[in-house]
Amino acid sequence: MRHYAKEYRTMSQARTETQKMLAEMVIRLLTDLDGFEIRHRRLAEATPNRLALWPALAAQGIIGAAFSEDAGGFGGKMRDLSVVMEIIGQFLVVEPVLAVAICGRILASAGYGDQLPALIAGERILVFAHTESFDPFSLPVTMAQPIDGGHRLSGTKFAVRHADLAHGFVVTATLNGAATCFLVEAGAPGLQYDHFRMIDAASAATIHFVDTPAKFLADEQVVQEALLWSMTGLAAETSGIINAVNRATFEYLRTRKQFGATLASFQALQHRAADMFVGAEEVRIMTSRLIEAVDDGAPLRFKLASATKVLTDDVGRKIGHESVQMHGGMGVSDELNISHYLRRLAAIRAELGSADIHRARFALINEDSRDVA
């Protein structure tokens, strides 16, 4: 596994020495704690513990990778978070690393940096309750009403990932005709949950809000940036999955024999493997460009984010399916990790807008602004 960590480094989004150390530390931790069999057994239980890794992730400062050192964190750039998300993808981690990172960044942007230490320490879990329909950038139907110096929210958020694990939610809602976001405690009045399981073994809930008390956090600009951070995190996760899937598939082709020859000797399969490599390269490099654009606040970051979601969804689908197919029967067994990667990729496609939605956004979006023309 040590040699594997080295090999991984060359593929990673890590650039600085600190980021490379971070990557190696996360890989080491997850290799020890969360080998695929352990994860598989844990999540197959009747009531799976989806926070089993949380104390260790907190203790090692990994939750803090999303936050600046001033805030008690370990980095704070999207590239730092992306380094972690790549490995999260690789190890199929279902703990709410991305959700807490996004919510923490929203709190920091809203001037509530004092709330970050509890997040970084793993004591408080916040998740981003945003999704309502197909287009994540459309104005929320969930409405915020000013009342007695505070606000009340009414509406429904669908498939809120990790909802059952959360102490609170950062909820988007429309206020005065614009998207804004609010903090809602999980036990607040007027909340109703429909809990369910996701295709990748994570948990989620559809949450109904009826006059639920909420604290105003931030305006539209932060909401849009938060979507961008989320999409970047998912792109990095996809990139990590794709690398893992390709490595496993190429190894299988090299070793599995049928008709007296390794599968790798069949040219039809060689060409398909070559296409998988091409896709992985596209995803790795495009994701890196998106990370840079987000960290630099480049004007074209919104257009780039849509382009990257299209790419990662399309390539992820293709590689997920190809890897399962080339593994034959073992590919569709629950016992092998390959089909679990396919499942996580399917869940990612259902998050934050489909490839079609983002193709449309890409076509309409101005290059130098987040606004759709």
Partner 1 sequence: MLLEESRELAEFRSEVRDFVRKNLPEDIAFKGRFGLEFDKSDFVRWQKILRAKGWFAGAWPKAYGGADWDLEKQLVFTQEAVLNDAPPVILYGVSMVGPVVFTFGTPQQQARHLPGILSSDIWWCQGYSEPNSGSDLASLKTSAVRDGDSYIVNGTKMWTTEAHWADWMHCLVRTDREAKAQRGISYLLIEMNTPGIEIRPIITIDGQHHTNQVFFDDVRVPLENLVGEEGGGWTIAKFLLSNERVGIADTGPKLKLLSNIKKLFDMVEGSPTVSEFTKLSFRQKLADVEIQLTVLCALEQEYVKMWAAGGSKEGPHASVLKIRGTEILQRLAEIALEIAGPLGGAHDPSDLHLPAFINFTEAQRSSMMGHQYLYSRCWSILGGTNEIQRNIIARSILSG
Q: Which member of 71, 331, 337, 365 binds partner 1 (CB under 8 A)?
A: 331
Strands 150-161 and 178-185: unpaired
Q: Which amino acid, one-letter code, is at 150? A: G
**Residue closer to partner 1 (CB basis): 158 or 216:** 158
Minimum CB–partner distance for residue 266 and partner 1 (Å):
8
Task: Give the whole-angstrom CA distance, residue 23 versus residue 15.
Answer: 10
Task: Give the whole-angstrom CA distance, residue 257 versus residue 242.
Answer: 24
**Residue closer to partner 1 (CB basis): 224 or 339:** 339
SS3 76: coil
Kindly indicate which of the ranges 96-104, 108-116, 298-306, 316-324 contains the residues binding partner 1, using the contact rule CB under 8 A: 316-324
Minimum CB–partner distance for residue 28 and partner 1 (Å):
30
Structure tokens at 368: 């130098």
Q: Which member of 5, 60, 135, 264 binds partner 1 (CB under 8 A)?
A: 135
State yes or no: residue 69 binds partner 1 (CB under 8 A).
Answer: no
State yes or no: residue 133 binds partner 1 (CB under 8 A).
Answer: yes
Q: Which amino acid, one-letter code, is at 165? A: L
Task: Give the whole-angstrom CA distance, residue 32 versus residue 46.
Answer: 24
Q: Which member of 269, 275, 292, 298 binds partner 1 (CB under 8 A)?
A: 269
State yes or no: residue 339 binds partner 1 (CB under 8 A).
Answer: yes
Minimum CB–partner distance for residue 291 and partner 1 (Å):
24
What does 220-263 look like in DSSP terms, one character per residue? Answer: HHHHHHHHHHHHHHHHHHHHHHHHHHHHHHHHHHHH-EETTEEG
Kindly indicate which of the ranges 15-23, 224-232, 299-307, 343-351 contains the residues binding partner 1, using the contact rule CB under 8 A: 343-351
SS3 147: strand
Minimum CB–partner distance for residue 324 and partner 1 (Å):
5
CB-CB neighbours of 161 under 10 Å: 22
Q: Do residues 240 and 89 touch, judged by C-beta distance below 8 A?
A: yes
Structure tokens at 146: 């000013």
**Residue closer to partner 1 (CB basis): 29 or 179:** 179
Kindly indicate which of the ranges 15-23, 207-215, 280-288, 330-338 contains the residues binding partner 1, using the contact rule CB under 8 A: 330-338
Q: Do residues 222 and 175 touch, judged by C-beta distance below 8 A?
A: no
Q: Which member of 325, 366, 369, 372 binds partner 1 (CB under 8 A)?
A: 325
Rule CB under 8 A: which residues touch partner 1?
131-135, 138, 141, 158-159, 194, 196-200, 204, 206, 257-259, 268-269, 317, 321, 324-325, 328-329, 331-335, 339, 342-343, 346-347, 349-351, 354, 356-357, 360
